A and B are shown apart, each in its own frame.
Chain A
Amino acid sequence: GENVEQHPSTLSVQEGDSAVIKCTYSDSASNYFPWYKQELGKRPQLIIDIRSNVGEKKDQRIAVTLNKTAKHFSLHITETQPEDSAVYFCAPQDLDTGRRALTFGSGTRLQVQP
């Protein structure tokens, strides 16, 4: 099965700074790379995803970059705001297997200091 690692486990930044979270995976067949955001006590929500035929995707202040050769992808948040404070999970997948359950990384707790 997929072995997923996230770094760092915790990240504290000042408001306005950028934050980068890295996700490393083991299954070279993975072809779908989503990031989920979970606020305290709430449900995870998909914030951005990328397919393996694309190297980078951006949506306003957030972006995801993919390095398939090295088997890692990263979440980039620019101009961070206090409401970005949450736990972020990656969940790389191989959509071709038919398995649809998500294997989440261990999570990164982001704290944005006002």
Chain B
Amino acid sequence: GAVVSQHPSRVICKSGTSVKIECRSLDFQATTMFWYRQFPKQSLMLMATSNEGSKATYEQGVEKDKFLINHASLTLSTLTVTSAHPEDSSFYICSARPRGRGTYNEQFFGPGTRLTVL
């Protein structure tokens, strides 16, 4: 149980285009999902917290108009990188926290999406 998928696993796009990444919890409901970005040989940095049915909360320095997050259901959150540029090339990972776990905070990560912007 507690499986999180991401699609696509890899994407290469041209500068200026938009890319959508999906994060799904396959066997549980998640009221909250998180989006992280990881540059090579670096740690995971939180970009935003995605809440089902409400607006995402972005971390300082993350442009909400550039990284659009939609959490339309209890099992799906999407991250759209708009007008992508080479500096957006990174490994994007989502995580989901199962609903109803109280204060316990085990999170389950997706396999990540490697974005390359040419």
A residues apposed to B, CB below 8 Å: 32, 34, 41-46, 49, 89, 93, 95-96, 100-107
Contact = CB atoms under 8 A, between A and B. Distances in A.
Contacts of B107: 46, 100, 102
Contacts of A34: 106
Given A43-B93, A89-B43, A106-B43, A100 B109 contact: no
A11 B110 CA distance: 27
A34 B77 CA distance: 25
B94 to A, nearest CB: 9
A43 B32 contact: no
Q: How large is the interface on B (under 10, 10 to 19, 20 to 34, 35 or more residues)?
A: 20 to 34
A41 B34 CA distance: 19
- Interface SS of B by simple majority: strand
Nearest to B48: A101
A100 B32 contact: yes
B103 interface: yes
Contacts of B91: 41
Interface in B37-86: 42-46, 49
A3 to B, nearest CB: 13
What 5 A-B pairs come out closest when comparing CB atoms?
Answer: A43-B109, A95-B103, A104-B43, A101-B46, A104-B44
Contacts of B109: 43-45
B42 to A, nearest CB: 8
A89 B44 contact: yes
Nearest to A31: B103
A10 to B, nearest CB: 10
A101 B48 CA distance: 9
Contact of A43 (B45, B46, B104, B110): B110
A89 B105 CA distance: 16
Given A42-B112, A43-B110, A89-B43, A101 B93 contact: no
